């Protein structure tokens, strides 16, 4: 009689199980199952602690801590961008009128991409009035053009990506001494359901920007942080 071997299907099953185990969960798979939850100051605090935890001494970590007084009210996911800005900055008309400094802005809005920057600029129409808004991202705009515009004109709001804003600060094209508000586009999700802090490069550049000067200005009380 012919012998019958059943080992091959079992081997195939085992390899299929191993392949399933090897397949890592994508961030979009995790986020798809989690309901949208508004960001709160504690989220940013935890992010900074995790990022700097092993790299810094206890004293250095203390210097990077932000108290609750450094934060503006966070968006509870019910606001449009204009209504959120109106709530956190009721005296905008006064700030806008008094701002005369070049190379600076009163409000900085940080988001994950050039396209998202353009969306936010369009959606703040009801808030901004006749103030001047400057695009601060890399797509189609050279850094020298942005530096020239900042040097020659007065702008009230800057909207862009953390990488370009960081580069402008490093090259002395943008001064943050007049900045009173920094808004992080915290809750928005892209097509892959990632928030800005779920994208490694954007997360690193944002934390670098915060460490470079924003945290110090927040601790001194001159800048307030908002999570939209």
Distance CA 158, CA 169 (A): 12
Residue 130, pLDDT score: 86
Residue 120, pLDDT score: 96
CA distance to 6, 24, 27, 29, 30, per residue, from 17 (Å): 18, 13, 22, 19, 21
How does pLDDT run across 199-220, given as a tens digit for each residue? 999 999 999 999 998 999 999 9
Contacts of 225 (CB under 8 A, 6+ apart): 41, 44, 66, 70, 71, 72, 182, 183, 184, 214, 218
Nearest to 186 by CA among 210, 211, 168, 212: 210
Residue 22, pLDDT score: 60
Residue 101, pLDDT score: 93
Helices (H), the chain: 7-22, 27-33, 41-52, 58-63, 81-88, 92-98, 114-123, 125-128, 143-152, 162-170, 200-209, 215-220
Whether the Cβ atoms of residue 160 and residue 110 lie closer than 8 Å to each other: yes
Q: Which two tokens stand for residue 181?
A: 């508000």
Band of pLDDT at residue 56, cut at 50, 70 and 90: confident
User: DSSP class of residue 108?
Assistant: E
Percentage of the chain exceeding pLDDT 90:
65
**What integer is the mean pLDDT of 178-191?**
94
Residue 16, pLDDT score: 57
**What integer is the mean pLDDT of 126-132?**
90
Ordered domains of the chain (ranges, CATH) = 36-227 (3.40.50.300)
Paired sense of beta strands 107-110 and 157-160, if any:
parallel
pLDDT, the chain, mean? 87
Distance CA 40, CA 225 (A): 11
How does pLDDT run across 140-182, given as a tens digit for each residue? 899 999 999 999 999 999 999 999 999 999 999 999 989 999 9
Band of pLDDT at residue 20, cut at 50, 70 and 90: low
Kindly tell me if the per-residue pLDDT of 138 is higher than 70: yes
Distance CA 223, CA 110 (A): 14
How does pLDDT run across 67-120, given as a tens digit for each residue? 889 999 989 888 999 999 999 999 999 999 999 999 999 999 999 999 999 999
CA distance to 10, 53, 164, 228, per residue, from 157 (Å): 64, 33, 15, 16
Residue 123, pLDDT score: 94
């Amino acid at each position: 009689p012919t012998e019958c071997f059943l080992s091959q299907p079992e081997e195939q099953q085992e390899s299929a199980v191993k392949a399933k185990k090897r397949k890592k969960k994508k961030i979009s798979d995790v986020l798809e199952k989690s309901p949208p939850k508004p960001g709160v100051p504690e989220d940013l605090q935890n992010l900074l602690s995790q990022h700097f935890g092993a790299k810094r001494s206890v004293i250095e970590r203390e210097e990077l801590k932000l108290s609750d007084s450094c934060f503006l009210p966070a968006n509870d996911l019910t606001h449009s961008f204009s209504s959120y800005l109106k709530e956190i900055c009721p005296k905008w008309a006064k700030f806008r009128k008094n701002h005369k400094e070049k190379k600076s802005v009163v409000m900085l809005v940080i988001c994950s991409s050039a396209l998202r920057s353009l969306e936010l600029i369009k959606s703040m129409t009801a808030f901004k009035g006749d103030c001047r808004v400057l695009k601060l991202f890399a797509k189609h705009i050279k850094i020298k053009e942005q530096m020239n515009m900042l040097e020659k004109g007065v702008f009230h709001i800057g909207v862009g990506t953390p990488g370009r804003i960081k580069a402008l600060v490093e090259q002395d094209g943008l001064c943050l001494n007049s900045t009173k508000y920094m808004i992080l586009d915290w809750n928005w999700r892209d097509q892959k359901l990632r928030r800005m802090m779920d994208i490694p490069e954007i997360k690193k550049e944002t934390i670098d920007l915060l460490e470079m000067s924003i945290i110090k200005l927040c601790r001194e009380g001159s800048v307030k942080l908002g999570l939209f």
